[in-house]
Chain A
């Protein structure tokens, strides 16, 4: 009697919980999907070649684009990678291979974790004080540096985790062949972890590509083609921000398209990262 009753109740609870979890998943999915659909439907109206090759036009002049902002965003991503990746990757390798459980390594890890949680606008203000002020002008260089600083903690921690994943037996196998320690790390460990590290790198690039706040203080904005990385440079995020808060309909329309392009760039980087991770895991098996 009691047994059957208990069984029914248990199975009912089970079904209820599965339903609630499913419902939560749907609720989480709705805003994401509606955001995507809305951005695509709004942005698609201006999504044409002119947008990718033309400079911004004054209000009322049709056919303006965001070519300079697209180029600017790509430039910023490159500069950020140059600044952030070597430091991040080598710091991660240091933590995994040499620092291990030392006090210093613990501190670096802690600081990296804190830094990756620092609001990006704070990074922007710091970059403004440290780079823009001494240099005297806004520049892509300053913006790239700010983004690069943001990448360092993310890349450091992912690299560390991935290098730690490489089984000890591989290192031993390499030592047993008479391969020196540093070559073991460089040619065996990092090479084996390469795909994973690359995934982490791409995800961190995707993460900073969408930053606006630090760029407002550093690379600022520009309505023309940049002549060097040492002058104010347009970026998609700042351009979208500027256009979106403007009172003009055609600018606001273009802001949607800018958002769509940004979304596509981030999506492309993510897809790339997933592809690398897949092959990486396949080989690591």
Chain B
């Protein structure tokens, strides 16, 4: 079973390599993909044979995945397929569930994030996460929400903090909306603003990879499009992995798409390819709405 999957994975890799040079000539639906396809890609995060269990139930089966630097990688699949579990493995958040077990390895720039000498806390500063429901800290002001990661990690210099607040909020496209009300509680913002506040909060620490677990599923269409715009902008500087239920969203924001089913990675390829000419029958069935 695993061998079969490995072979499939290899076959996909070959396919990817063959499709890559074509990228220049093919006009893509996704506007941001064009540029990226021609550029030389550096692998930022690499999942190697990732398996995960909750108690006796295995949630992930030998997932192999290379996530390129400064690209948006979308993970799609039906509920319960393990996409959230996978994304939570990327910053060792799955460990916070008492019954969780893990096998395999995840590399961040060729260094294992599961190195026993490495504190998961340090990993999470470089690989941040935004959740489905906006989770601003209710008793903290907008200002405090942004710098809470820095402050609780020992940064006291007021100047540094002030700068971090402005630059993070600007990066999260929220500065103009909140610059006059930095002392208001974070919970007073609208849902979409709260979600962007959470993104700003993640950006304020020394972030390199941003994991987003269905960041728009609790937002209205306008807020959703704002967050999507933001994802496009953040891609200039960050590597983003986004789990989404919304296939249009995956097509809109990502360069690469991974399709998962029952804990297995079924297909992982350029977004354009996955949505127009998937190589696996299951992927085709899913994106054409035949199941899931």
Contacts and interface: CB of A to CB of B under 8 A. Distances in A.
Interface of A: 167, 169-180, 183, 187-188, 191-192, 194-195, 283-285
Nearest to B129: A176
Given A169-B133, A173-B131, A188-B137, A178 B121 contact: yes
A283 B185 contact: yes
B137 A178 contact: no
Given A176-B91, A283-B187, A170 B125 contact: no
Contact of B128 (A170, A171, A176): A176
B148 A177 contact: yes
A178 B96 contact: no
Nearest to B140: A191
Interface of B: 91, 93, 96, 121-126, 128-129, 131, 133, 135, 137-140, 148-149, 152-153, 185, 187, 198, 201-202, 205
Given A188-B148, A194-B139, 8 more contacts: A176-B128, A178-B126, A178-B149, A179-B148, A180-B152, A283-B138, A283-B139, A283-B185
Contacts of A191: 137, 139-140
A174 B202 CA distance: 10
B202 A176 contact: yes
25 contacts: A167-B135, A169-B135, A170-B137, A171-B96, A172-B131, A173-B131, A173-B198, A175-B121, A175-B124, A176-B93, A176-B202, A177-B152, A178-B122, A178-B124, A178-B153, A179-B121, A179-B152, A180-B121, A180-B152, A183-B152, A191-B140, A192-B138, A192-B139, A195-B139, A285-B138
Contacts of A194: 139
Most chain A CB within 10 A, of B91, B138, B185, is at B138
A170 B135 contact: yes
The 10 closest A-B pairs by CB, nearest first: A178-B125, A177-B149, A176-B129, A173-B135, A178-B124, A183-B152, A179-B152, A283-B138, A169-B135, A192-B139
Contacts of A187: 148, 152
Most chain A beta carbons < 10 A, residue from B96, B133, B185: B96
Nearest to B151: A187
A132 B127 CA distance: 58
A175 B185 contact: no
Contacts of A176: 91, 93, 124, 128-129, 131, 202
Contacts of A172: 93, 96, 131, 135
Given A187-B152, A285-B187, A177 B201 contact: yes
Contacts of A188: 137, 148
Contact of B149 (A170, A179, A192, A284): A179
